[in-house]
C-alpha cells in the first residue's frame, strides 16, 4: 500500500509551524513511520529563484511577477524533492509536508481576481506539477485559516518577505485558499483557527486537525496489520 501524503497549508498567523510539529509528534508517539519536508527548501540550489523572488529581487510588490512565472520558481523546487517523496510513499511512510503545490494556488492564484482566469491558472498549475513534473499528489491538504487582518502588526517587520509585508497580498491569498477548498472539498479541508478573531490555543487546533487525519491513520494501521 502506498503511504499517505498529508500537506499543511495556511494563511499567515494561523500557527502552521506549531501545528506541523504537534502533528509530527503525534505520529511519532504512535510509532507511525513518518518523513517530513518543508517548502521552499531554503538553502538548496533548487530554491534559489524562490529566495530571490521573496527577497524582492524581481520587484518589491508580489504583483510585479506573473503568477505563472512565480509558480515555476516554486514548482522546480518541488521537482527537486519529488523522487525522495515518491520513495518514502513507496516504503509505506506517512509523508508530512509544510506547504506544497497548493501554496501556489493560494499565494499566486490570489493575484488573479477573475474566478474564470484563476480556474484556468489552477488547471495549468496542476498540469505542470502533477503531470509534467510528476510530483506526487497529496491525499489530504489541510488549510489552516486565520483572517489576514490579524497580521497587521507584522506587516512592517524587517525580516518579513515581500508576501508577508503586503496586506493586500495576504488578503488575496486568504480568499484564494478558501476558494480552493470550496472548489475541491474532497481532499481539501479548512480548519478555522480564529473563530472570534483570536487564535485558539494550539492544542484545540491540533485536535481539529487530528479529527481529520485520524481516519487515514487508522486505515494505514489496518492495512499493516493485514499484511
pLDDT tens per residue, range 162-196? 998 899 999 999 999 999 999 999 999 999 999 98
Domains of the chain and CATH, by start: 4-226 (3.40.50.300)
What does the pLDDT read at residue 207? 97
DSSP alpha helices (H): ranges in the chain?
16-29, 48-54, 67-90, 101-107, 115-126, 167-183, 202-226
The whole-model pTM stands at: 0.93
Task: State the greatest distance between any 2 C-alpha atoms of the chain, in Å, as a whole number.
Answer: 55
What does the pLDDT read at residue 215? 87
Beta bridge mates, 219: none
Instruction: Name the residue with cell 499566486.
Output: 108
Rounded to 10 degrees, the C-alpha dihedral 43/166/121/83 comes to: 20
What does the pLDDT read at residue 159? 61
3-class DSSP state of 108: coil
Cα–Cα distance measured from residue 113 to residue 107, given in angstroms and rounded to the nearest whole number: 12
The conformation of residue 201, written as its DSSP 8-state character, comes to: P
Kindly tell me if the per-residue pLDDT of 41 is higher than 60.
Answer: yes
Amino acid at each position: 500500500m502506498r503511504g499517505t501524503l498529508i500537506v499543511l497549508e495556511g494563511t499567515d498567523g494561523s500557527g502552521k509551524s506549531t501545528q506541523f510539529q504537534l502533528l509530527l509528534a503525534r505520529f511519532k508517539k504512535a510509532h507511525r513511520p513518518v518523513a517530513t519536508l518543508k517548502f521552499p527548501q531554503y538553502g538548496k540550489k533548487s530554491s534559489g529563484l524562490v529566495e530571490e523572488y521573496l527577497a524582492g529581487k524581481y520587484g518589491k510588490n508580489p504583483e510585479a511577477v506573473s503568477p505563472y512565472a512565480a509558480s515555476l520558481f516554486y514548482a522546480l523546487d518541488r521537482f527537486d524533492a519529488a523522487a525522495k517523496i515518491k520513495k518514502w510513499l513507496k516504503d509505506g511512510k506517512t509523508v508530512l509536508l509544510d506547504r506544497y503545490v497548493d501554496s501556489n494556488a493560494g499565494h499566486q492564484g490570489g493575484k488573479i481576481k477573475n474566478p474564470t482566469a484563476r480556474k484556468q491558472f489552477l488547471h495549468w498549475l496542476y498540469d505542470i506539477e502533477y503531470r509534467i513534473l510528476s510530483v506526487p499528489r497529496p491525499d489530504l491538504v489541510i488549510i489552516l485559516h486565520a483572517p489576514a487582518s490579524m497580521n497587521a502588526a507584522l506587516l512592517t517587520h524587517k525580516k518579513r518577505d515581500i508576501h508577508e509585508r503586503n496586506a493586500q497580498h495576504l488578503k488575496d491569498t486568504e480568499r484564494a485558499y478558501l476558494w480552493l477548498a470550496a472548489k475541491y472539498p474532497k481532499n481539501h479541508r479548512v480548519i478555522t483557527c480564529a473563530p472570534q478573531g483570536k487564535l485558539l490555543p494550539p492544542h484545540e487546533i491540533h485536535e481539529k486537525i487530528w479529527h481529520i487525519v485520524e481516519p487515514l491513520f487508522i486505515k494505514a494501521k489496518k492495512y499493516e496489520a493485514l499484511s
